[in-house]
Structure 1
């Protein structure tokens, strides 16, 4: 039933759609399908796409035709086509005002931007109070919709394609993580890419991927479309949202759990629980894959997590928290210092060996210690807790209690808020109790073993008085899905709407608790006004033909 588990580290990213290995739908007469995204364009939208610039102007399709606001629309990398059959061609297809929409979604009102000035060699638009100058002016004038059937591009045709400028040119961070000269228009965003590599070249004007960005942000009101990604050696493809890809960057590891990137040299430090060792993975040829593994330290009981701090590695084993330092020429740690001994052992089948360590914004270490059982009253005050201590091992304190097994936790960027995902107990049925996403506060009691969910007393160990004083979860998660890795996304590679949301890895259900296996996925937990508002799949597909071939961790 469990299939063959694959010990791999995978990398998820939002890349240019031209690089994505999806399979296209079968093309029918009058339509064109694209291998790059798996979507087809047909009929009037296809004719419009081909007549008005095609791939360089609009990009690949990133959705099928769909209904939005009573209109038939289709999304492309750089635009949204809207069908208006009440209009005569060519005005029966209109473009979305994605520049204006994208700015609005960012909370930026273009009307408040500093105005431009009339100047020689520029075109000034009094309607928006902004000027169009070189190098963007030549690009704007060279491209446009085909409206009159005459050769060349008229100002009206350029205006129909891009609209008027909404800003003056200014450096901005684009969706690829580059700071480039940027100017916003009603329907587009112009970006000036610098010249690289060649001695004689000029900077290039390109269009920002507004369609992909705005479409990603509108996902909470519209269905998410997924595409398959398959690599050699995978038993089945994984599925990710259109606009994303996922690739394998390391393999051959023995139950890798949590890992950290060393900012000093870019290597990955991995806790291999199955081998009882901490390994360092290196990408020697710079191709993005970590081909070489070096043992940093071994002989551990059940090593689960590691972080890099001041050039040393802090690693959490089942029985102790250690500091690894003084690395030799072979990469091994010549110093293995126990910072803190930890309680261990299990009193039943469900005792937890995982120990997760993280660095807080206060400079202290936070350490989760799972329970020794499924449901019991612990003898050690350090079990079923999150602990806090100084990086040298001193100053130990219990930060929060009643957390049966909070394997994954993280601080929300820009705040001191600690969020963690806790696993509920077993043997109360396939749908109870829920796993939990908690806002973990100092001194907080989160209920286990007395209660679960929103202060529901446990049928065996319930304590109504204690439950009344516990903190309820911020979000219920599906029962038995076993949440593990938790992180907040604050990068620039994904669509802007993902920034500030949580990524959560579900390890998946166990066959002794449910009739049908489920979980085994990575999800995006949407945060609104600082609180979780639901989740949606980000990566799925680790169950194929009833067999589990991978279990997400951290």
Structure 2
């Protein structure tokens, strides 16, 4: 009788423990059938994560684990899931999908890393349906869900290695980009859950397309470099950028010599305004090469002039929204020896400094000028 009671208590405890593991996703991997320790990174993968890792590409697709499994908040949904990070991915356990192939999902690392780019980077903005008529449409797919194309070798890799379920939709066009892990430039394409890189040095092998180390970039970046946005000439935003500066509000100003204008963005890369066009008049530019902002957020630009007497250096002053406030054409000493300006700078008290040079760049003069254009002195340097 006493033995039967003991067995009943043990059975009850086992049943309670079993139920707790079924409804507690944190404990589930502890009772998994199998675990694998990776000495390369010193972490263990267990249970459903290990099954998913092995059955969906393993090391080439996900890389080594770089954390243990732990509860984390998903930035896409704000919900908490049992999560484990790998060099190239983040795996999440979704108990609400238990018994289906979606019980383990790869996190949306592509979107997590490029949320700003989705609204400001031309390569991430929705594209037209662009078919190369020299090739079959079967090798060039357009996804209206995200407004992007996927083609040729990247499409082939996407199709043969899990497609939508593993990588998600494309969120960019293919383009050249710096890999922050190596500092090298590759043709890349971003997806909701991954980044494809084309490695021509591996052409003829299965490794000419590799997945970016997105897990490393998010959890243990090698540098603080963060690519925010770019403005391509095909989008007619910037054509020949020569200088960049910021004001006290974090707005960004670019001297766009190719379009004879100043372009202003907010701190997230959204276009605020642009002003200027080709000419010698007020608010016009012949070759704008420098832009600086004063502590009061006045904007000063430099047209450097040339070595003839027809085009002299000119500094123009604007408000932060591009309103022309005047020209500053202060010259001192024997100006005929220094007929071109190569740079301007501004101090914390608003004093302008202009660097003038002679025709063969063997001598220079630093001009000190008030914000209102009054010559305050200068000094010559030769040799």
TM-score range, shorter chain: 0.3 to 0.5
Greater relative contact order (CA < 8 Å, ≥ 6 in sequence): 1
Structure having the larger proportion of residues in helix:
2
**TM-score w.r.t. structure 1 length?**
0.30
**TM-score w.r.t. structure 2 length?**
0.43
Larger of the two Rg values belongs to structure: 2
